[in-house]
Amino acid sequence: MNAARPLVLMSGVGAVGAYFGGRLAAAGQAELRVICRSDYEEVAAHGYSIASPNGDFHFQPSRVYRSAAECADAPDYLIITSKVLPGINQPAIVGPAVGPHTTLVLIQNGIDIEKDLARAFPHNELISGIAYVGVTRIAPGKIVHTDGGTLKFGRYPQGESESCRKLTALFNAAQVGTEYHTDMQRIRWEKLLWNAPFNPVSVLLRANTSQIMNDPKTVELIRTLMHEIIALAAADGWPLPEDNIDKLLKYTAGFRPYKPSMLIDFEHGRPMEVEAIVGNALAAGERLGVATPGLKTIYALLQYWQKNTAVTAQP
């Protein structure tokens, strides 16, 4: 690694990638390059404009590539911020840019989403990351930041990592509150505890968080689904305190009306992270022998909408 100024290559740069990449670039301690397929023309010419309540900012990557193969220099960090969708061969997409000392970094939702990369690059360090941020891409290269903007990182599957510590420090030096963890799978289950109930239910009811929280019977459903996630996490070796449920419900009840990302994707006819957020949890249940009847029901309904939305709305 170029200790003074590491090279960071980002892949699957949507709103999340542009926001965090932009912060990192603005701090000047890393060189930021991006692989950008769909918005290539706009981003190569003008970079990303990020409107934020903390002050608008601009992110001009030092290089913009159409594919990983165009990047001749092996990056110190290769950060993937795409949505997690079936049929995307992530190792094939980033593979050409991965050098022997490249640390792979995922900033993505869901559970059990690291396996393909871990299997494809067994000798590279892999960092699992989660973002807590409200950002939306409103046009090519145009990003709106509304809420949050923090990260949690940890080595996959667990344990200490010098490389991860350095990445955490880089982000913290760039106005991004970032936590270093040695137990990222616990952190993933904690985030799934909110995501797995609220995202699907919001889609199935076309309801924001306030509408869900205002109906005692839908709150009870959310609670049931949360209990299933807690059971899964415990069987996976990450027992979460039961009172996380009450805390999360109380926290969510305090939101202004908020549309989970899956509902926004649904409303725009975009693919939803059904498998990463629900399907993989069910698979964990099968593997660990944990019953997940509520999640299974939600999943069956949601995957139908996924297919039927995709059919009608995708180009």
By the rule CB under 8 A, 218 interacts with a copy of itself:
yes
Size of the site for a copy of itself (CB under 8 A): 23
Closer by beta carbon to a copy of itself, 107 or else 226:
226
Closer by beta carbon to a copy of itself, 132 or else 304:
304
By the rule CB under 8 A, 299 interacts with a copy of itself:
yes
User: Looking at 11-19, 129-137, 141-149, 293-301, which segment touches a copy of itself (CB under 8 A)?
Assistant: 293-301
The DSSP line for the chain is: --SSS-EEEEES-SHHHHHHHHHHHHHTSSEEEEE-STTHHHHHHH-EEEE-TT--EEE--SEEESSGGG--SPPSEEEE-S---TT--HHHHHGGG--TTPEEEEE--SSS-SHHHHHH-TTS-EEEEEEEEEEEEEETTEEEEEEEEEEEEEESSSS--HHHHHHHHHHHTTT--EEEES-HHHHHHHHHHHHHHHHHHHHHHT--HHHHHT-HHHHHHHHHHHHHHHHHHHHTT-PPPTTHHHHHHHHHHTSPS---HHHHHHHTTPPP-HIIIIIHHHHHHHHHT---HHHHHHHHHHHHHHHHHHHHH--
By the rule CB under 8 A, 177 interacts with a copy of itself:
no
Closer by beta carbon to a copy of itself, 110 or else 197:
197
Task: Give the nearest distance from C-beta 112 to a copy of itself in angstroms.
Answer: 19
By the rule CB under 8 A, 176 interacts with a copy of itself:
no
By the rule CB under 8 A, 194 interacts with a copy of itself:
no
By the rule CB under 8 A, 290 interacts with a copy of itself:
no
By the rule CB under 8 A, 207 interacts with a copy of itself:
yes
- Site of interaction with a copy of itself (CB under 8 A): 201, 204-205, 207, 215, 217-218, 220-221, 224, 293-294, 296-301, 303-305, 307-308
